[in-house]
Every structure is written in structure tokens, then in C-alpha cells.
Structure 1
């Protein structure tokens, strides 16, 4: 009997959606959205991050002025308790993803282990 990996992936998705980590992110993001200043800071920071990622993928150099702006945004974000809560929740979820990834790649690691 063939294993349907996509079916298992959908079950994992459901499990993630029902996890405490996911709920913490959702609740924290709702708080960010509820506070206009937090939402503005968050959106600006995400926009800067995406811009930097795009520049790096295209092999472009990030300007000193842009780096300074990003540092200022990061400092402002650190002071915002709503965003700080969201970032902490994201960090917890990232840890879960790392653990899941280790489990998923274990069979391949075993194949290539000498």
C-alpha cells in the first residue's frame, strides 16, 4: 500500500493550526493589528525585510542608508510590546518547524549516513 505523503502533510497542517504555538502567533498578530502604531511599525519592518531579501537574491548591495533605516525600525519594534510578543511567538513556532524538519529529513539522513 502506497503512502500518500500529501495526505500526511495536510494532517500536519491541521495539527499546526491547532497547536498552542500557532494560536499564540494568531493572538499576538491580532493585538498588533488592533493597535495602529504597532501595525504601522510591523508593516514597515516587514516591507524592509522583504526588500532586503529581494536585493540579496538579485545580488544587489544593501545601501548604508537602508541598513541604518532598518536598524532604527528594529529598535522601534523592540520597544513595542505587541510586536515583541508576536516575535517571541514566531520564534517558538520557528523552533517547532526546526524540530519537524529534523524529523522529516531523518530518513534521507539515514540513507546518506556512512
Structure 2
């Protein structure tokens, strides 16, 4: 291969930033951060998400207090149109990332594929 694989990855990163989906996500995030109430709710939502992920990754139990807090914050977030818009844009971006991951993993999948 004449081109460095990391150069290709950096090109992909630049390409992602140029997609309409990323630009829409960026705009939606900007709207959330410019609205004090939405930003505060979004920050609390992200904080509880990170707390839960850290506990899951370290094998810790997620206590009832954390679950209750997460549910309360999720309910608040679902009532905010700016955050809902941001989450919609995140989902579109997540679809692209998942598609790219599937494509990137094709060499390994074909290598280990059972051949008859």
C-alpha cells in the first residue's frame, strides 16, 4: 500500500467533518450551548451517562440512586426541543459511524469467515 493507513484515517476524519450530518450536529450543539437552560440540562445528562458508563466498564453495580437520577434527567431532557434536536442529529451521525465501522471491519470479517 503506497498510502499510509493513518493518512487515510485522517482523510476520513476530515471527510466526516464535511458531511451534512456533522454540520447539522454541530449547529444543533451550538443551539444547545447558547441556551442556558438547555446547556445545563444537557450537561447533567452527559454527566449521568458518563457515570453509568464508567460503572459498567469497571463492573460496578448501578445503584438505585443513580438510576433514579438518570431517569429524572432523561425526562427533563426529553422535554427540551433543542436537546431533542441535538439527539436526533447525534443519531444520524451515529448511523454513519456504524456504517463506516462495518466497512472498516470487512477485511477481518472476510478473513475469519467460514468457507465451505
Using the size of structure 2 for normalisation, the TM-score is 0.94
Query: What do you get for the CA RMSD once the two structures are aligned?
Result: 1.0
- Name 1:39's counterpart in structure 2: 39
Q: CA deviation at 1:75?
A: 0.8
* 1:71 lines up with 2:63 in the alignment: no
Structure-2 separation of matches of 1:65 and 1:56: 15
2: CA distance, partners of 1:12 / 1:38: 31
Distance 1:57 1:104 in 2: 25
* Distance in 2 separating the partners of 1:78 and 1:20: 24
The answer for unaligned runs of 5 or more in structure 2 is: none
Question: With structure 1 as the length reference, what TM-score do the two structures score?
Answer: 0.95
User: Alignment partner of 1:73: what SS?
Assistant: helix
Matched residue count: 114
Distance, in Å, in 2 between the alignment partners of 1:77 and 1:56 is: 22
1:103 corresponding residue in structure 2:
103
CA deviations on 1:40-75 (whole Å, 9 max, x unpaired) are 000001111111111112211111121011101101
The Cα shift of 1:86 comes to 0.5
Q: Detail structure 1 runs of 4+ shifted over 3 Å in the superposition.
A: none
Partner of 1:11: 11
* Unmatched tracts of structure 1, length 5 or more: none
